[in-house]
């Protein structure tokens, strides 16, 4: 047992407590000294710290002056809004327009690429991968007809409708009627728009026998509406390209969408200039 010195004359409670040894006393003294030094340094820093200055934002006063009281409405500005001369483009279609995980989503899609090249005003493509003029999408039971009804673009200068290979189970009469109705709805919402109709596309030269009747039915509706019709089958779109179609053998890649933009942008440019389209596959 270590030797512990005791103080016999300490009264009360403290008389029974052991006194620290010499070594323990030195340690305690050192700890107290370090604590005192730390407290002193902290006090010196606190007393000499310069508080940060707050500078209100430059427009704070203006904000305070122009913010209306609660329950009131701010007056409308009398300054006229800047008008844009940029053309407005609208797009309806299936997976070739919507883009998929294989490619063509957002700015990589041909609608966005064409819009940027032409300096046009951006609009969201109204397209679903499995929709058609007659074919109903599993995403909200939509068709090209209902997309045109529910997502009109009244300011569109040019409207592109592309598809659809998804209509292979419909009869030609059903397709022609639905396409005709789609064009009527688009023109009713935007009487000034110029329509560009692109038929169904396939991804290689082995075009199934069900697809040409779909193409012919859409072309008939376009002819009746007196609008340009582009035939990707005659134009051999995608037939000879490499890396344009994704692993699912159906959907265009980002490179495929850039390829589509190269084909479609001149057609849209011609329509904006009120000139006839001249690309391969034009009626």
Whether residue 209 is predicted with pLDDT greater than 90 in this model: the reply is yes
Q: Flag whether 279 is in a domain.
A: no
Whether residue 248 is predicted with pLDDT greater than 50 in this model: the reply is yes
Q: Flag whether 206 is in a domain.
A: yes
Q: Average pLDDT in the 261-281 region?
A: 78
Least confident of 59-73, 141-155, 198-212: 59-73
Q: How many CB atoms lie within 10 A of CB 129?
A: 18
Number of domains in the chain: 2
Q: Flag whether 72 is in a domain.
A: no
Judge if 104 and 176 occupy the same domain: yes
Q: What is the CATH number of the domain that holds 254?
A: 3.40.50.1110
Cα atoms in the 13 Å half-sphere on the side-chain side of 130:
7
Q: How many CB atoms lie within 10 A of CB 109?
A: 26
Judge if 167 and 261 occupy the same domain: yes
Judge if 96 and 230 occupy the same domain: yes
Q: What is the pLDDT of residue 79?
A: 36
Q: Flag whether 219 is in a domain.
A: yes
Q: What CA–CA distance (Å, rounded) separates 121 from 181?
A: 26
Judge if 189 and 241 occupy the same domain: yes
Q: Flag whether 259 is in a domain.
A: yes
Whether residue 11 is predicted with pLDDT greater than 80 in this model: the reply is no
Q: Average pLDDT in the 13-33 region?
A: 59
Least confident of 57-71, 163-177, 258-272: 57-71
Judge if 115 and 197 occupy the same domain: yes
Q: What is the pLDDT of residue 76?
A: 32
Residue-wise pLDDT tens digits, 94-146: 999 999 999 999 999 999 999 999 999 989 999 999 999 999 998 878 999 99
Judge if 235 and 112 occupy the same domain: yes
Q: What is the pLDDT of residue 185?
A: 98
Q: Average pLDDT in the 152-180 region?
A: 97
Q: In what order do the strands lie in the sheet with 229-230?
A: 126-127, 89-93, 158-162, 194-198, 229-230
Judge if 97 and 156 occupy the same domain: yes
Least confident of 4-18, 88-102, 131-145, 179-193: 4-18
Judge if 132 and 264 occupy the same domain: yes
Q: What is the pLDDT of residue 9?
A: 45
Judge if 107 and 34 occupy the same domain: no
Q: What is the pLDDT of residue 53?
A: 42
Q: What is the pLDDT of residue 3?
A: 41
Higher per-residue confidence, 263 vs 85: 263
Q: Flag whether 212 is in a domain.
A: yes
Q: What CA–CA distance (Å, rounded) separates 118 from 113?
A: 9
Q: How confident is the model at residue 27 (pLDDT cuts 50, 70, 90)?
A: low
For the chain, what's the residue count? 283
As a whole-number percent, the residues of the chain with pLDDT over 70 amount to 68
Judge if 123 and 242 occupy the same domain: yes
Q: Flag whether 9 is in a domain.
A: no
Q: What is the pLDDT of residue 21?
A: 64
Q: Average pLDDT in the 203-223 region?
A: 96
Q: What is the pLDDT of residue 98?
A: 94
Which residues lie closer than 8 Å to 50 by C-beta, 6 or more apart? none
Q: Which helix (H) or strand (E) holds 217?
A: helix 211-225
Q: For the chain, what is the mean pLDDT? A: 79
Q: Flag whether 228 is in a domain.
A: yes
Across-strand partners of 195?
Answer: 159
Q: How confident is the model at residue 85 (pLDDT cuts 50, 70, 90)?
A: confident
Judge if 117 and 224 occupy the same domain: yes
Whether residue 81 is predicted with pLDDT greater than 60 in this model: the reply is no
Range of the domain at 241: 89-272
Which residues lie closer than 8 Å to 141 by C-beta, 6 or more apart? none
Q: What CA–CA distance (Å, rounded) separates 185 from 188?
A: 5
Judge if 25 and 142 occupy the same domain: no
């Amino acid at each position: 047992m270590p030797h512990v010195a005791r103080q016999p004359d300490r009264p009360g409670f403290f008389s029974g407590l052991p006194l620290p040894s010499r070594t323990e006393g030195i340690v305690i003294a050192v700890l107290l000294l370090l604590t005192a030094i730390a407290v002193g340094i902290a006090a010196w820093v606190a007393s000499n710290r310069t508080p940060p200055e707050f500078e209100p934002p430059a427009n704070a006063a203006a904000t305070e002056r122009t913010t209306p009281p609660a329950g009131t409405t701010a007056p409308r500005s009398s300054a006229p809004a800047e008008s844009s001369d940029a053309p407005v483009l609208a797009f309806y279609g299936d997976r070739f327009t919507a883009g998929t995980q294989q490619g063509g989503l957002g700015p990589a899609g041909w609608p966005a690429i064409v819009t940027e090249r032409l300096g046009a005003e951006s609009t969201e493509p109204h397209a679903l991968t499995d929709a058609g003029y007659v074919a109903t999408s599993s995403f909200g039971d939509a068709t090209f007809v209902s997309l045109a009804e529910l997502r009109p673009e009244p300011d569109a200068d040019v409207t592109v409708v592309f598809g659809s290979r998804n209509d292979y189970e419909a009869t030609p009469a059903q397709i022609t009627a639905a396409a005709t109705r789609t064009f009527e709805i688009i023109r009713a919402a935007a009487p000034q728009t110029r329509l560009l109709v692109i038929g169904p596309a396939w991804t290689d030269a082995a075009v199934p026998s069900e697809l040409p009747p779909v193409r012919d039915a859409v072309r008939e509706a376009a002819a009746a509406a007196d609008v340009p019709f582009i035939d990707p089958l005659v134009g051999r779109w995608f037939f000879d390209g490499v890396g344009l179609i994704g692993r699912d053998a159906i959907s265009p890649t980002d490179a495929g969408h850039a390829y589509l933009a190269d084909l479609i942008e001149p057609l849209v440019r011609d329509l904006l200039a009120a000139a006839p389209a001249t690309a391969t596959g034009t009626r």
